[in-house]
């Protein structure tokens, strides 16, 4: 009976093709993902200390890690830096969310409409290359030293990245997917929702990640330059204050806090998002 044979062969093939899972223990995973960055940080600290010990510069110009640690602890204990962190993070997140709301439809339109792409694509790419700190003077002249100026700089920094990330994601959608979507009956909006956007998601998430980095950088640049009670006291302001007071310890403290926020947002938001998107599409291994 050929039919019965075929059934058995099919079942056998399926069984042989079942994925063999190699479980990875929590400890191993921890060792693989946490240990290397810790070692890298330790190495930087060691090099830093070595440079300080070599006494190329007096210690008020280049304080050692221990001193910075001390001044950081001091600043943290006094509690004046926490509001700065809170304020900057709030501004950054609001600006980023606004950038997503503007950049996403923009990217979708530029990615799918040829005339718009020819017209706006190069402008977006150019904007992405322009250091967003360049927007601070005109923004202040236009809006005055107000939060609107800050948000303007953040938007001009982040929107192009988000839009272009989505465009490159759209460019990588296999044409076959669109064909299949059409054959399945997905028209216009349904096609965008069920085929185009999910297929472009990896590029889009990359754009979001870069968009956040640009938003955060732009905000810091704006905060350092624009000073007004209306803007409150962000991390950039803290850095400027350290410069005015000649307090290298505080300056390093501010830089480390700025770094920490960037790293934390990446670690808590974008890294898991990216991992999930890639893993669900089989683009990265089951364990990293």
Partner 1 sequence: MSIASSTAPPVPAAGTAPDPAVHLRGVTKSYARAGTGGPPVLEDIDLAVPPGGFTCVIGASGCGKSTLLSLIAGLDRPSSGRVDVAGGHAALMFQDAALFPWLTAGRNVELALRLRGVRRAERRERAERLLALVRLDGARDRPVHQLSGGMRQRVALARALAQESKVLLMDEPFAALDAITRDVLHDELIRLWQETGCAVVFVTHNVREAVRLGRHVVLLSSRPGRIAAEWTVEIPQPRRIEDAAVAELAVEITEHLREEISRHARR
Q: What does the binding site for partner 1 look like in residue numbers (CB under 8 A)? A: 2-3, 6-7, 9-11, 13-14, 17, 19, 174, 176-177, 179-180, 182-186, 190, 194-195, 198-199, 201, 277, 280-282
**Which tokens belong to 65?**
């890690």
Distance CA 242, CA 240 (A): 5
Instruction: Provide, rounded to whole angstroms, the least separation between the CB of residue 174 and partner 1.
Output: 8
Instruction: Provide, rounded to whole angstroms, the least separation between the CB of residue 120 and partner 1.
Output: 28
Instruction: Provide, rounded to whole angstroms, the least separation between the CB of residue 6 and partner 1.
Output: 4
Could you tell me which of 273, 271, 240 has the C-alpha nearest to residue 258?
240
Measured from the CB atom, is 213 or 273 closer to partner 1?
273
Instruction: Provide, rounded to whole angstroms, the least separation between the CB of residue 249 and partner 1.
Output: 49
Measured from the CB atom, is 18 or 54 closer to partner 1?
18
Q: Residue 12 half-sphere exposure, CB side, CA atoms within 13 Å?
A: 6
Distance CA 50, CA 35 (A): 22
DSSP readout, 173-241? S-HHHHHHHHHHT--HHHHIIIIIHHHHHHHHHHHHHHHHHHHHHHHHHHHHH---GGG---HHHHHHH
Instruction: Provide, rounded to whole angstroms, the least separation between the CB of residue 180 and partner 1.
Output: 5
Measured from the CB atom, is 185 or 229 closer to partner 1?
185
**Which tokens belong to 277?**
């998107």
Find all residues with CB under 8 Å of 202, minimum gap 6, and list them: 169, 172, 274, 277, 278, 281, 283
Measured from the CB atom, is 233 or 279 closer to partner 1?
279
Instruction: Provide, rounded to whole angstroms, the least separation between the CB of residue 109 and partner 1.
Output: 23
**Which tokens belong to 173?**
């959608």
Measured from the CB atom, is 32 or 194 closer to partner 1?
194
Cβ atoms of 78 and 88 within 8 Å: the answer is no
Measured from the CB atom, is 3 or 38 closer to partner 1?
3
Measured from the CB atom, is 10 or 57 closer to partner 1?
10
Instruction: Provide, rounded to whole angstroms, the least separation between the CB of residue 71 and partner 1.
Output: 48
């Amino acid at each position: 009976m050929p039919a019965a044979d075929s059934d058995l062969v099919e079942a056998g093939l399926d069984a042989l093709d079942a994925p063999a899972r190699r479980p990875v223990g929590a400890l191993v995973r921890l060792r693989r993902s946490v240990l290397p960055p810790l070692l890298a940080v330790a190495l930087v600290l060691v090099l830093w200390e070595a440079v300080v010990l070599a006494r190329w510069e007096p210690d008020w110009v280049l304080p050692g890690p221990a001193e910075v640690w001390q001044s950081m602890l001091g600043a943290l204990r006094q509690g004046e830096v926490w509001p700065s962190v809170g304020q900057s993070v709030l501004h950054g997140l609001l600006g980023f969310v606004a950038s997503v709301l503007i950049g996403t439809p923009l990217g979708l339109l530029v990615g799918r409409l040829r005339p718009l792409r020819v017209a706006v694509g190069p402008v977006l790419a150019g904007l992405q290359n322009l250091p967003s700190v360049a927007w601070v003077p005109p923004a202040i002249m236009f809006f005055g030293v107000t939060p609107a100026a800050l948000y303007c700089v953040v938007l001009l920094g982040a929107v192009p990245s988000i839009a272009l990330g989505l465009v490159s994601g759209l460019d990588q959608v296999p044409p076959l997917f669109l064909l299949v979507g059409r054959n399945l009956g997905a028209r216009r909006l349904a096609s965008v929702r069920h085929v185009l956007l999910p297929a472009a998601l990896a590029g889009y998430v990359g754009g979001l990640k870069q968009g956040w980095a640009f938003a955060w950088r732009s905000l810091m640049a704006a905060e350092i330059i624009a000073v007004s009670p209306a803007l409150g006291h962000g991390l950039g302001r803290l850095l400027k204050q350290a410069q005015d007071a000649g307090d290298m310890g505080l300056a390093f403290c501010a830089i480390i806090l700025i770094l920490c926020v960037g790293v934390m947002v990446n670690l808590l938001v974008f890294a898991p998002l990216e991992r999930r998107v890639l893993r669900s599409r089989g683009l990265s291994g089951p364990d990293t």
